[in-house]
Each structure stands twice: as structure tokens, then as C-alpha cells.
Homo-oligomer: A and B are copies of this chain.
Amino acid sequence: MKLVFMSHEDKASLWREWLGKEMPGLQFLQWPGEVEDKAGIDYALVWKPEKGLLRTFPDLKAIFSLGAGVDHLFSDPELPEGVPVVRLVDRALTQGMTEYVLYWTIHYHRRMADYLRQAEDGVWQQHLQADTKFRRVGILGLGELGGDAARKLASLGFDVAGWSRGPKEIEGVTCHHCGEGLPAFLARTEILICLLPLTEETRGIVNAETLSHLPDQAYVINCARGPHVVDADLLAALDSGRLAAATLDVFHAEPLPADHPYWNHPKVTVTPHMASLTVPSSAAEYVAENIRRVERGEAPRNIVDPSKGY
């Protein structure tokens, strides 16, 4: 069995080590140096591969994404047909994202920016504590990541709602769906968190119109993909005083260009697409299990539906 690894961002050495522990019989070939013959390579484990490249591997049985999102694959117009594309669904990846969401939700809910500034300035001052029960948090996207974040926020006592394309049911979470559900969901949301997949339907979903439905002084946290947000609209809503603040982990161009207004905006916190990074020691287990399924003649888990793009 042979696997080709393609990524400029993930550490090949760690994946080689951990996949090797899981599957000693697997030949791990790092692209491009270690690939002599594209024929006979069974699996591709990839992040942002060059467009048209995957099609040139004639024997692929499955393509594994190195991250939860697969927009980096479906943007390839020549993606080979008939080869299943598999999302990464991993305990550590989900836990990391939920940590990020909880951190920034509590940050805004408890005015931590004010307290951190006071700590630097040597100021001892308490602020009235908002009741968690009445803090309305809203999550766009209720898949693996959004669903887990919603459940954990609800277990902490927040008033949580979610929005997704199709109907969902999550205990303790008010679930809205489709286009009609969106304005009502937004109107009750003080802290908005985007965890949607990036598809043609969700591109630019955080825009002037949707932001106008949020209550005054709402917060926006985007840890999905940069193109979910229309940057000019978000900046306008922050500058007009309508929105209180935003934390952004993802951007149209990454790394975020040095001259982008987000970097120095007093209401924006930029993080470098680190909300949840793939942890090879944990994710290798998932990839190996899926390879074993294919080798047994079963379908891998978490195949992407190409018509939906997630």
C-alpha cells in the first residue's frame, strides 16, 4: 500500500511517524521528492494540492483532507471523479475548535479584554457580571465542529441557538434552518460564531444585510473560512459602532497581508488560522482506520457529498 502526502503547512515527519505506528505496512511518500511513479499509489493525504495534480494519480482509492474543510479540494475543477474525498473528523481537532470558541465567547461575555488591559495598567476595578443564562450565543453551522461547540456552550449555561442548511436537533440548543430561519436566528444572537463549511451558498454569508439583523453591540467570531465574511461590510459595521468587536482566525488571503486593516483595528483580534490545528498523533488513527475500511472493501467514513461540498 502506498500513500502520497502533499502539504506545505503540515509536518510530514510527524505524519510519517504516527501513520507508521498505526500501519507499519504503509509506504509513506512525500510529494514531490519521494514519488517516482504515480501509478500504484492508493491514497492521497493532502492540504491545498496544486490544481489538476490529483487527477494525474491513476490508482487513487481515496483522497483524505488534512483539515476539517474540503473547500481546498473542491476548488480544483479537475478533481478526479469517482474517487471518494474524505473530511477529517478527529477528536483532537473538534476539541481544539471547541476550546477556541469557548475562550472567545467567555472573553467577550466576561469583558476579559477590559480586565487584561487593567492588569497591564495596574487598575483594580470590577465590572457588573452578566448572567450566563441570559447571554445569547449563536452558531452558524451545526456539523461536527459547530454541533460540539453548541453542546458545550449549552452545558455551561449559555442560551445557545444554531443555524444550518437543513434541520438539526441538538438537546438544549434552539435550531434554526434554511434561508427563512436566518433573520430570526441573527436577531437573537449577541455573540455570533461562524463554523460553516465554505460552499457557493455560504460564501459571503456574513455581510451588510445579515449583520444588520444582529442586535446592537454584538460580537462576531469567525473560525471557519475567510470568504464567509465580506470584509468591507464587517469593517463598516465595526466602524459605525453597531458591532462591539470581532475575533477572526481565517481570511481571504493567508497569511493575512501586513497592510490589511484588520491587523491594527482596535475592535479586531487576528489569530493565525490556529483555532484548531490538526494534531497528527490523534488524526493518524482516524486516517489509518479509514484506510483499513477501504482495504476491507467498505466505504470510508465521512465521505464528502460533492453536490453539497461538505
**A-to-B contact residues, CB < 8 Å:** 91-92, 95-96, 98-100, 102-103, 106-107, 109-110, 112, 115-116, 118-119, 122-129, 131-133, 152, 155-157, 254-256, 258, 263-264, 269-274, 276-277, 279, 281-282
Contacts and interface: CB of A to CB of B under 8 A. Distances in A.
A128 B280 CA distance: 10
Please tell me how many copies of the chain the complex holds: 2
A157 B98 CA distance: 11
A303 to B, nearest CB: 26
A122 B258 contact: yes
Contacts of A269: 116, 119
27 contacts: A91-B133, A92-B129, A92-B131, A92-B132, A96-B110, A99-B106, A99-B132, A100-B110, A102-B103, A102-B156, A103-B106, A103-B110, A116-B116, A116-B269, A118-B272, A119-B263, A119-B270, A119-B271, A124-B255, A124-B272, A126-B273, A126-B274, A127-B274, A128-B277, A129-B276, A129-B279, A131-B282
Given A131-B282, A282-B133, A272 B125 contact: yes
Contacts of A270: 119
B271 A129 contact: no
A124 B249 CA distance: 11
A64 to B, nearest CB: 19
B115 A272 contact: yes
A269 B92 CA distance: 28
Contacts of A125: 272
A182 to B, nearest CB: 28
A200 B99 CA distance: 36
A126 B156 contact: no
Given A96-B110, A103-B106, 8 more contacts: A95-B133, A95-B157, A115-B271, A115-B272, A119-B270, A124-B255, A126-B274, A128-B277
Contacts of A119: 263, 269-271
A115 B274 contact: yes
A18 to B, nearest CB: 11
A281 B131 contact: yes
* A-B complex: 5 closest residue pairs judged by Cβ atoms: A124-B255, A129-B277, A124-B272, A95-B132, A103-B106
A155 B157 contact: no
A132 B304 CA distance: 27
B99 A156 contact: yes
Nearest to A111: B274
